[in-house]
Amino acid sequence: MDLQQIFKTANPVIGVVHLLPLPTSPRWGGSLKLVIDRAEQEATALAAGGVNGIIVENFFDAPFAKDSVDPAVVSAMSLVVQRLMQMVTLPVGINVLRNDAQSAMAIATCVQAHFIRVNVLTGVMATDQGLIEGQAHQLLRYRRELGSDVKILADVLVKHARPLGSPNLTTAVQETIERGLADGVILSGWSTGSPPSLEDLELASAAATGTPVFIGSGANWENIPRLIQAADGVIVSSSLKRRGRIDQPIDPIRVSQFVEAMQRSLTAKSQAEPVQSVPVPS
């Protein structure tokens, strides 16, 4: 996966647009216009703050379907993502929670988005939705059938889940890339808002042997100088929201703070100089 070609940088910051509840979800509010308006606001804030890409998730549809979502969710996400792509010129990705990779691939291919995130591509994870099995074979075949070049970013030992057995992180990364054919891998902490450890990122990067490794959760302007030392890019959401609260909309000032901290971190990384942390805005 050529990050420079897709994101115009080798170290992208990918901001997340958490969609309000969609049709058929338990908290669906009855107005797709409200969903679109909020998504437009967040995508605009992310773009104005200087991120290099955006990923759109049906985050507020919890509790999530284990595998296939309702067709109404696919329809709604297609409409929303197409609208966002008309507004911002950034590369856009899609994550259909909890693990509907084929719907994500279908949406991304139809609207000409650039990548998808797959929470469980290979292996078996115990989650609050039950046991989720990776469907790499079906997804890769489906991408070929569609004639699509949408890239697949796959979580390794994804958050809010526990693996069946005790897989070695190095082995899990290698199998996700070599046997699951992921174009990039994502490492997160145990839950939304918790970061992976630097040691785990170093192990993952060593095992990935050139395949991009992304920080998938918990990044903020205070820890990004340390974490980015062992990663290629970052997917960030919680710390970019007002007061850092997951239920709040994106704050463009916090986006700018994060992007600036990331840029300083990369400069220091290239020069092997220490990086000063950035004060947290109130």
For 29-84, the pLDDT digits (tens) are 999 999 999 999 999 999 999 999 999 999 999 999 988 999 999 999 999 999 99
And the tokens for 253?
A: 């000032």
Contact 66, 135 (CB under 8 A): no
- Distance, in Å, from the CA atom of 276 to the CA atom of 3, rounded to the nearest integer, reads 26
Q: Which residues pair with 15 in a beta bridge?
A: 54, 236
- Distance, in Å, from the CA atom of 149 to the CA atom of 9, rounded to the nearest integer, reads 19
52 or 158, which is more confident:
52
Average pLDDT of the segment spanning 102-118:
98
pLDDT, residue 71, reads: 98
Number of folded domains that form the chain = 1
Q: What are phi and psi of 116, to 5 degrees?
A: -130, 160
Under the banding of pLDDT at 50, 70 and 90, the label for residue 119 is very high
Q: What CATH number corresponds to the domain at position 104?
A: 3.20.20.70
Asked if the structure places residue 12 within a domain, the reply is yes
Asked if the structure places residue 277 within a domain, the reply is no
Asked if the structure places residue 59 within a domain, the reply is yes
Asked if the structure places residue 281 within a domain, the reply is no
Asked if the structure places residue 148 within a domain, the reply is yes
pLDDT, residue 164, reads: 79
pLDDT, residue 166, reads: 59
- In sequence order, what DSSP letters do the residues of 204-239 get, joined into one string? HHHHHTTS-EEE-S---TTTHHHHGGG-SEEEE-GG
Average pLDDT of the segment spanning 213-229:
95
Tell the residue number behind the tokens 């284990």, with chain if given: 66
CA-derived radius of gyration, the chain: 17
Average pLDDT of the segment spanning 241-254:
93
Which domain covers residue 24, as residue numbers?
A: 3-265
Q: Sheet harboring 161-163: ordered strands across?
A: 130-133, 124-127, 161-163
Asked if the structure places residue 280 within a domain, the reply is no
Torsion angle (degrees, nearest 10) of CA 103, 104, 110, 115: -160
243: left (phi over 0), alpha (psi -120 to 50) or beta: left
**pLDDT > 70: percent of the chain:** 94
Asked if the structure places residue 72 within a domain, the reply is yes
And the tokens for 69?
A: 């979502």
**pLDDT > 90: percent of the chain:** 81
Q: Which of 9-13, 67-71, 187-191, 235-239 has the lowest mean pLDDT?
A: 187-191
pLDDT, residue 277, reads: 55
For 175-196, the pLDDT digits (tens) are 999 999 999 999 988 777 789 9
Average pLDDT of the segment spanning 228-238:
95
Torsion angle (degrees, nearest 10) of CA 265, 50, 215, 109: -150
pLDDT, residue 168, reads: 86
Torsion angle (degrees, nearest 10) of CA 56, 59, 64, 70: -40
Contact 89, 121 (CB under 8 A): no
pLDDT, residue 190, reads: 76
Asked if the structure places residue 274 within a domain, the reply is no
pLDDT, residue 270, reads: 80
Q: What Å distances lie between residue 29 and 56, 66, 117, 262, CA to CA?
A: 19, 22, 26, 36
pLDDT, residue 234, reads: 98
pLDDT beyond 90 at 130:
no
For 266-275, the pLDDT digits (tens) are 988 787 655 4
- In sequence order, what DSSP letters do the residues of 9-59 get, joined into one string? SSS-EEEEEEPPPPTTSTT--S-HHHHHHHHHHHHHHHHHHT-SEEEEE-G
